[in-house]
Amino acid sequence: MQLWNKFSKEELREKLRERGEKFITISFYQYAHIKNTSLFRDQLYIMWSNLGIVGRTYIAHEGINAQIGVPAHKFEQFRNELYEISFLNNIRLNIAVDESEAEFPFLKLKIKVRDKILADGLQDETFDVMDKGKHLRADEFNALTNDPETILIDMRNHYETEVGHFKGAITPDVDTFRDSLSIIEDTILKGNEDKNIVMYCTGGIRCEKASAWFKHRGFKHVHQLEGGIIKYANDCNEKGIENKFIGKNFVFDKRLGERISDDIISCCHQCGKPCDTHTNCANEACHLLFIQCDECRAKMDGCCSEECQHVHQLPEEEQIALRKGTIQRDRYFRKGRSPKLKYKDIKSSIFTTNCLNTIKDISST
């Protein structure tokens, strides 16, 4: 059996349409000790291919991190088979809050072996990721974040927090999780060692690592939102708990976001109009992630700039020739940042000022 995809995007999209299946978008992670990562990867690929699952999964010696789309009629079989894997028995499965933003969450099944399931830049061999902070249910999270002795920190990146975050949260202006750990310790936690530290992220994996790291660094009162924003929103809906999240939750699939509240707290990066719809520049040589309203999308052909629009309108052969041999790694890792985005810097400076004011208020109590 072939253990990788060999079809183009359009071929994959057409195959999914022919199948006519409804997918349930699921994410889960587990820190564990996986000895033979390549063998586990191949076994998982075969099992999930037989179920028609699509999505992205990373496997490392430290565990597994998955964001996948499961055919709805195969969900029970998927869960039963997953739970037969000893270290994944009864693992929490985060189900998407809103499936309406994209035709398909993913186009293909991709399972990769990596050095880590989360790029953190940590090299301390004495650090134990299993010694994590206290998990908080939605009601416990609301109660503790109402306490003035609590610091609430968003562990996500700038382009995620820009479209949605919890009320009163500090949202560091960072590009990657790797960047955030030292910045948060040096600029937010330093001098606040006696405060309650509460962290949250999309599905919990970043907070799991961060809570263990900050405990390792000597902080005592470390907490994290169990299951992240996804589980929190579902629990609030199902149990009638107050939802303190405003805006959209950025997600790493074709939807690029799921609506949590009706609030729109960001703006189109091209015209400044209230908007929280992320897109990737239609110029394949750019592919910059940014916020674009419907009017600018139509006017700019889904591109981030007139330069990219010009390239995008060229024949495909010319586009391929132009991007041959080019590397866009810096732009890729700096999502949502470009001098071409007129209204991005304005919004970022507002968030940065608000964060600094929040830190000052906390430190003075």
Show which residues are catalytic. 201
What does the alpha-carbon distance between residue 289 and residue 303 come to, in Å, rounded to a whole number? 10
Q: Give the helix/strand (H/E) hosting 248.
A: strand 245-249
Provide the β-strand partners of residue 246. 165
State phi, psi for 312 to the nearest 5 degrees.
-60, -30
What does the alpha-carbon distance between residue 297 and residue 17 come to, in Å, rounded to a whole number? 25
What does the alpha-carbon distance between residue 285 and residue 319 come to, in Å, rounded to a whole number? 8
At residue 1, the 3 state secondary structure works out as coil
Question: Which ranges of 127-189 would DSSP assign to H, the alpha helix?
Answer: 138-145, 158-161, 177-184
What does the alpha-carbon distance between residue 250 and residue 281 come to, in Å, rounded to a whole number? 17
What does the alpha-carbon distance between residue 88 and residue 25 come to, in Å, rounded to a whole number? 18
At residue 144, the 3 state secondary structure works out as helix
Amino acid in the structure at residue 276 = D
In eight-state DSSP terms, residue 189 is: I
What does the alpha-carbon distance between residue 51 and residue 73 come to, in Å, rounded to a whole number? 10
The β-bridge relationship of strands 134-136 and 109-113 is unpaired
